[in-house]
Chains A and B, each alone.
Chain A
Amino acid sequence: MTRADQERIFNEKIAKEIKIEPNDWMPEEYRQTLIRQISQHAHSEVVGMLPEGNWITRAPNLRRKAVLLAKVQDEAGHGLYLYSATETLGADREKTIDDLHSGKAKYSSIFNYPALTWADIGAIGWLVDGAAIMNQVALCRTSYGPYARAMVKICKEESFHQRQGYESLMKLCKGTPQQKAMAQDALNRFWWPALMMFGPNDAESTHSDQSIAWKIKRFTNDELRQSFVDATVPQAEILGLVIPDENLKWNEERGHYDFSEINWDEFWQVVKGNGPCNKERLAARVKAKEDGLWVREAANAFAKKRSMKKSA
């Protein structure tokens, strides 16, 4: 088959909404784009365990402790489903993770913000998982089969994450004034970083056009951000919390909420490593990998010994 034939078949599949599967021919750039995007997503799931994981030992009651454990555990699972998808593209997991640790690969900047109070755990579930769902639901129809299937599985699990966060905040909002203030404070700190999760404005987004053409991405950053704002504002009203944006108002003409411009300086600073917790997050992941080295080596050595015993 000539290269032109391969490319024609690939483009036909994309046009007809037929999924691309691991063994299919694909343009090298498509493969690289996917590896970059999926591994970045995987890293986000895993780094995302850290701010919430910090609160497992401090969860205020046994039910919340179990829920948080299960939630953070799910994120590890999501990381794994996604690394598994990158491995179908020929990207070795260990190398992918080394790229994270060296700073070459990125992860979602939201996890560079600290979780300071128990209300932050609620806010993270509601806003951060909420924003992630907005992205991920769109990705269930992405053109690469293993990625799409991982997303379907992840989306099923995510909705519990958002609900438990919202429920937890609801409890605070119906509790004492101190609890409600704690919830408002969490919203104040997480609202803008949550909006930043959708990435730069479409005009600034470097990879967007080609990704949309290849149907890796199905909606632009700004479209998704708008959907998130539209969905979240009424939820905040039910909680009785105020979204920290004085320009936020319903625009009858557009049929959407208008909102202020994001502080892009902050966005780029955090992406470049200057967020409040970038160093701690990465250091924790590097330490886990290094501390686990002898464990992984031992397990391999043991497996080798046993298989030799068996064949002897």
Chain B
Amino acid sequence: MNEAALYEYVLRMSDDSLILGQRLGEWCGHGPILEEDIAMTNIALDLVGQAISLYDFAVLLEGKDRDHDQLAYLRYENEYKNLLLVEQPNGDFAMTMLRQFFFDAFRLPLFEFLEKSPVEQLAAIAQKSLKETRYHLKHSSEWVIRLGDGTEESHRRAQAAVDHLWRYTHELFYENQHDVELQENGLVPKLSDVQASWMITVQEVLKEATLAIPTNNWKFEGGREGRHSEHMGYILSELQYMQRAYPNMEW
């Protein structure tokens, strides 16, 4: 099996879940209403749970006898392979929900394909995560529609979020040699298929939300290769604070 390639593939997914979970965790206690505070924390919990399962699998693939916390907490910034999208600051609630929506609309078809992957562990994780992700997408897309078609102010904020985040969505479909290898061996889905499904969801939801898809298609990428935005260092300094300040201790 293509272990190195698969390791990288799984690591990316783990990092996506972890970093987005970390971002959503920042909302806890500060949500726009208690009910939504609880809802966002639920999504964060699902993502952290996914990160744990995915890192556990990555640990096996890496074969270096590290545990999931060592992977999650003790790498250097350029070793994290998450999307630039998920590390973007929470901004206002519209920014958070649109970031979530773009991500969920990608994750859902991805997990749907991966559920059928011959890589058993990956299929099992996908199967469990699929139910969670379907719910996340329901929640985020409903909010995108509510905000887009709500008041003038909410429409303006939602459109601003679309305009800002659009540049990061291209990277959802980033591929390198490893991906091609995995795809050719039928272990993971073709990203073009995932992209087609993503595009349909995005078009439908944004249309219902009366939001426009930006025409500027200038694309940002780098996260998948470990080149992050300036935000990442701050995320990691909080995430890793305890592990770095008190090395080699158990908590």
Contacts and interface: CB of A to CB of B under 8 A. Distances in A.
B33 A73 contact: no
Which secondary structure dominates chain B's binding surface?
A: helix
B28 A72 contact: yes
Interface string A275-303: 00000000010011001111111110110
Interface residues of A, number: 47
A66 interface: yes
Interface in B23-63: 25-26, 28-38, 41-42, 44-45, 48-49, 51-52, 55
Given A50-B29, A294-B153, A62 B72 contact: yes
Nearest to A295: B32
A3 interface: no
B11 interface: no
B200 interface: no
Contacts of B52: 62-63, 66
A76 interface: yes
Nearest to B234: A57
Nearest to A65: B48
B38 A80 contact: yes
A176 interface: yes
A288 B36 CA distance: 12
A175 interface: yes
B241 A58 contact: yes
A60 B145 CA distance: 37
Contacts of A172: 251
A73 B92 contact: no
Interface in A158-176: 168, 171-172, 175-176
B146 interface: yes
A121 B246 CA distance: 16
A64 B251 contact: yes
B147 A62 contact: no
Nearest to B150: A298
Given A66-B48, A284-B30, A288-B31, A60 B242 contact: yes
A273 interface: no
Interface of B: 18, 21-22, 25-26, 28-38, 41-42, 44-45, 48-49, 51-52, 55, 68-69, 72-73, 92-93, 145-147, 149-151, 153-154, 157, 235, 238-239, 241-243, 246, 249-251
Interface of A: 46, 49-50, 53, 56-66, 69-70, 72-73, 76-77, 79-80, 83, 118, 168, 171-172, 175-176, 178-179, 284, 287-288, 291-299, 301-302, 305
28 contacts: A53-B30, A59-B242, A61-B251, A62-B51, A65-B21, A65-B48, A66-B45, A66-B49, A69-B41, A69-B48, A72-B29, A77-B38, A80-B34, A80-B38, A175-B251, A178-B249, A284-B29, A288-B32, A292-B33, A295-B32, A295-B147, A295-B154, A297-B154, A298-B147, A298-B151, A299-B146, A299-B150, A301-B150
